[in-house]
Homo-oligomer: A and B are copies of this chain.
Amino acid sequence: MNRILFEESEIKDGVVEFGGARAAHVLDVLHAEAGGRIRTGTIDGPVGESEIIATSRPGEEPRVAARVSHSSESAQPWVDLILAPPRPRAMKRLLPQLAAMGVGRIVLVGAKKVEKDFWGATLLKDENLRPLLIDGLMQAGTSILPRVETRRNFKRFLNDELDEMFPQGPRIVAHPYSKGVAPCATPGRRLLLAIGPEGGWTEEELEILEGKGFAGFSLGSRILKTETAAVALLAVLGRTFDTAATDI
């Protein structure tokens, strides 16, 4: 945790009290004490620091009270994903990484090679997704929560909803055998990146994506799993499109 995040509803009159994993981290990893300051933020809100007012004693259940001072803007999402999801286990590992790397919106689509039983996964319930995404944000030190949506009908989504949902900005489709080159970055425009399933997009799916203006982009001749490819693509494209990737 490089930043402890709170729900807005947890902060009352500028003070937050918390236990659990966050408090254990503050006490056992950061070894913070009353009077100390920690990096904090409000989920979907500003970030900053908090001053610790009180802590539980050693041996007690971990518990921290802090006075919150959040006045800076978090690094903003710079990319939205259309993702043909891998299996739930891999997806569960991937979600915090996507949140950490600055993804804003994630639309999980039913490409042909997505396993049918994915759509029944308990992972997709908001109460399961949310903690995974918040973990990623706390790791990265940012606060803007990605939105996750599902669209099982790939064609209908691409043809009927895509342009309204993502009206502007460059569009890139990742494809191992693509010879395309990523378009140049336009400042202030969020990238829309489509990542295919294990086994790849079908020819028909690629045609639909290309028809919708997605430019092909390849990481080269080594073929990576969806999970690895997603992180690799975000890292490479972030060098061009993410201001926080070169901002140190």
Q: What is A's interface to B at a CB cutoff of 8 Å?
A: 2, 75, 93, 97, 100-102, 139-142, 176-179, 218-225, 228, 231-236, 238-239, 242, 244-248
Contact indicator A2/B223 (Cβ below 8 Å)? yes
Q: Residue A236 contacts which of B239, B247, B248 (CB distance < 8 angstroms)?
A: B239
Known contacts A223-B140, A225-B100; A218 and B248 CB within 8 A of each other: yes
CB neighbours of A232 from chain B (8 A) = 101, 231-232, 234-235
CB distance from A172 to the nearest CB of B (A): 15
Query: Is B220's CB under 8 angstroms from A238's CB?
Result: yes
Question: Inside 8 A of A2's CB, which chain B residues have their CB?
Answer: 223
Report Cα–Cα, A220/B2, bound state, in Å: 14
CA distance A139 to B227 in the complex (A): 12
Given A225-B100, A228-B97, A220 contacting B247 (CB threshold 8 A): yes
26 contacts between A and B (CB under 8 A): A2-B223, A75-B221, A100-B222, A100-B224, A100-B225, A100-B228, A101-B224, A101-B228, A101-B232, A102-B222, A139-B223, A139-B224, A140-B223, A141-B223, A142-B222, A177-B248, A179-B248, A219-B245, A220-B244, A220-B245, A220-B248, A221-B244, A222-B245, A233-B235, A235-B236, A236-B239
Residues of chain B with a CB closer than 8 A to A247's CB: 220-221
Instruction: State A242–B234 Cα separation when bound (angstroms).
Output: 18
Q: What residue in chain B is nearest A198 (Cβ atoms)?
A: B139
A230 CA / B219 CA spacing, docked (Å): 16
Known: A100-B223, A101-B222, A219-B238. 14 other contacts (CB 8 A): A75-B221, A93-B93, A100-B228, A101-B224, A101-B232, A139-B225, A140-B224, A141-B221, A219-B235, A220-B245, A220-B246, A220-B247, A221-B245, A236-B236
Top-7 shortest CB links A-B: A232-B235, A220-B245, A140-B222, A231-B231, A2-B223, A235-B235, A221-B244
Q: Is the CB of A222 within 8 A of B75?
A: yes
Q: Which residue of B lies closest to A99 (CB)?
A: B222
- Between A179, A225, A233, the greatest number of chain B beta carbons within 10 A of the residue's beta carbon is seen for A225
